Structure 1
Amino acid sequence: MATLLHIDTSINGDNSHSRAVTAAFRATWEREHPEGTVIYRDLDADPLPHLRADAFYAGFTDPADRTAEERAAFALRDEVIAEAEAADVLLLAAPMYNFSIPSTLKAWLDHVFAMGRTAGAGTRTLAGKRAVIVTSRGGSYREGTPNHGSDYVQDFLRQALGGALGLDVTFIVPELTMAPTVPAMADLVPLYEASRTDSLAAAESHAKELAAELAA
């Protein structure tokens, strides 16, 4: 049975565009793969603490040699890393907040980066796993738009998740999500609606594709 790790981060609850897309992916995944397992974390409702020095440096000590204090400090990191290691597919919501990712997702990444285990030289325990990233944003950052070049989400996550951890990363990008509520963006509502429709369809398509691959 395949395992999906589903992580939401949006602060907007039922009004969240990224949550709508991750929910569409998950619903399709569960329909196509009913015997599978889903591990879920809502980092807005239950955020991880920022990584502290004791937990960071404990990661550089062989588990067999850790003191009781080091084991206690590393316990949460070990839990979070183990969830990712257990997953066949990672589904991460990364809405753009102030040009970058939510701080809650950065905290998760800091816990997951463990040199000699998930990152660094040698075997990387997450390498080769598929990761679907839903990165919604209020405007558009495509080439030719005024905001082009100010997207610090996709390049960062491509490097962090793909380059450092070795994940196979796919992005779904619902954009112009503020168009329905900002009068100055009223002319962009049709583009927003098209982007939302395309993003939901992409989520369902990727979920079907990955469920089929893992069932084969």
Structure 2
Amino acid sequence: MNLFRLDASILPGVSTSAQIADLAEAEWTAAHPHGTVTRRHLGTDPLPAEAWALATTAGATPEAEHTPAQREAVALAGALSEELQNADAAILAVPLYNYGVSQHFKTWVDLVLAGAGPTTPLLKGTRTVLATTLGGGYGPGAPREGWDHSTPYLERVLADIWQADLTLIKRELTLAATTPGMESLKDLAEQQHSLALAAARDAGRALAGN
């Protein structure tokens, strides 16, 4: 059994999305002690920003005319898509940045799509946990309602394009404990934290088939 684990936080030492993903992974590992975990951390080991353009332009160029950079980009795109397709289960920890997904996560998605094709269901039927965290509040009635441009994109890619059997764990207000002006939200933030951790354990057990 192979678990694919992806992280996208640029602050791995204090990542709240990683905390949620860690709990889900622990449940999977407990059920599959001899399983393997394939890891990719886009925050600490980002992919080259120019690789997607190189892989895409290579697709419209005869292979014999590919530059060395294009060949490297095509190989990278193929390896990334294969890495995902080989997963028996998957966990992705993806924070919201600047109201959307980070450029390094978007580069990964674009390269996977370049390697596999834009409609290939790489995770078809694969149990997948998405842990996403947001510093502020974006729910109904919040000042930033409608500003979360990350979660819908993530669900579209994972569930609709790659056809994962997706479980979403979403925690908002992660900055309430440290941000001036958010003091009144601390209790709600802590409640969301507790709910997210409980959901992570449940999702991990389901991920493991328990």
TM (norm. structure 2) is: 0.88
Deviation of 1:148 (Å): 1.2
Report the counterpart of residue 83 of structure 2 in structure 1: 83
Report the counterpart of residue 13 of structure 1 in structure 2: 12
Aligned positions of 1:24-43 closer than 5 A: 24-43=23-42
CA deviations over 1:99-140 (Å, ceiling 9, x no partner): 00121111110111137x4533xx634322232111101111
- CA contact under 8 A between 2:3 and 2:89: conserved in structure 1? yes
Letter in 1 for 2:8: T
Letter in 2 for 1:144: G
Instruction: Determine if the alignment matches structure 1 residue 104 to structure 2 residue 104.
Output: yes
Letter in 2 for 1:78: G
Secondary structure of 1:152's match?
coil
Equivalent of 1:192, from 189, 193, 207? Answer: 189
- CA contact under 8 A between 2:84 and 2:122: conserved in structure 1? no
Report the counterpart of residue 48 of structure 2 in structure 1: 49
Instruction: Determine if the alignment matches structure 1 residue 182 to structure 2 residue 179.
Output: yes
Give the ranges of 4+ consecutive aligned residues of structure 1 lying more than 6 Å apart after TM superposition. none
Report the counterpart of residue 147 of structure 1 in structure 2: 144
Instruction: Determine if the alignment matches structure 1 residue 131 to structure 2 residue 142.
Output: no
Equivalent of 2:170, from 166, 169, 173? Answer: 173
Letter in 2 for 1:107: T
- CA contact under 8 A between 2:134 and 2:172: conserved in structure 1? yes
Deviation of 1:49 (Å): 1.1
RMSD: 2.1
Deviation of 1:182 (Å): 1.5
Letter in 1 for 2:30: R
Deviation of 1:25 (Å): 1.3
Distance 1:127 1:74 in 2: 23
Distance 1:6 1:57 in 2: 29
- CA contact under 8 A between 1:118 and 1:165: conserved in structure 2? no
TM (norm. structure 1) is: 0.86
Provide the identity percentage.
36
CA deviations over 1:19-70 (Å, ceiling 9, x no partner): 1111111122111221211101111111011234331244578xxx844756
Q: CA distance change for structure 1 residues 100 and 205 in 2, over 3 Å: closer, same or farther?
A: same
